[in-house]
């Protein structure tokens, strides 16, 4: 192959490489467009499992006039297999750092930590003004068991 006058091998190689990169980029883009299908017709899938409840769903499933207790994980951002039990029934899941549950007089408030081998701490962050027990600031450690937070008492 003869080199045209005024052009060197490095200029020719540079031109060939740039054109090859452009062609490859167009091939990748074309493949994505044709094989990707109709993106607008697909429904979004939740990242979390079926037990995830968004803020609107959690509020909708709770009577907003009932007293509530808000719990907070102290050392973790989430523990999705730790469940908050109110009188033995699952009332919340620690998909995030905070869980707010509705309570009534005489309810037993517990945290199910049986699915975790490592201990973790739960703090009662806030309560409605009608709630006398548990008090905000109460902290319990859950260690591979059911952690009893308190027997709910309402003020008269």
3-class state of residue 10 by DSSP: helix
Instruction: Give the CA-trace dihedral at 144, 72, 99, 52, to 10 degrees.
Output: -60
19 pLDDT exceeds 90?
Answer: yes
151 pLDDT exceeds 90?
Answer: yes
Provide the pLDDT for residue 71. Answer: 94
CB contact set of 23 (below 8 Å; sequence gap of 6+): none
Provide the pLDDT for residue 155. Answer: 87
pLDDT digits (tens, 9 = 90+) for 20-68: 999 999 999 988 887 765 555 555 444 544 444 544 444 445 567 789 9
The pLDDT of 106-131, averaged and rounded, is 92
Closest CA to 46 of 57, 34, 35, 33: 57
More reliable by pLDDT, 57 or 113: 113
Provide the pLDDT for residue 78. Answer: 84
Provide the pLDDT for residue 66. Answer: 87
Provide the pLDDT for residue 8. Answer: 85
Provide the pLDDT for residue 39. Answer: 54
77 — pLDDT class (breaks 50, 70, 90):
confident
């Amino acid at each position: 192959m003869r080199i045209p006058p005024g052009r060197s091998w490095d200029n020719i190689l540079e031109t060939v490489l740039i054109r090859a990169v452009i062609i490859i980029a167009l091939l990748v883009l074309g493949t994505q467009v044709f094989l990707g299908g109709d993106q607008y017709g697909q429904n979004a899938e939740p990242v979390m499992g079926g037990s995830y409840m968004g803020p609107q769903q959690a509020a909708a499933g709770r009577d907003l006039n009932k007293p509530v207790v808000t719990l907070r994980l102290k050392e973790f951002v989430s523990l999705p297999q730790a469940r908050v039990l109110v009188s033995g029934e699952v009332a919340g899941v620690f998909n995030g750092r905070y869980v707010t549950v509705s309570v009534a007089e005489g309810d037993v408030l517990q945290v199910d930590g049986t699915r975790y081998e490592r201990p973790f701490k739960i703090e009662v962050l806030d309560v409605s003004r009608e709630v006398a027990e548990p008090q905000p600031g109460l902290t319990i450690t859950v260690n591979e068991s059911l952690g009893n937070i308190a027997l709910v008492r309402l003020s008269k």
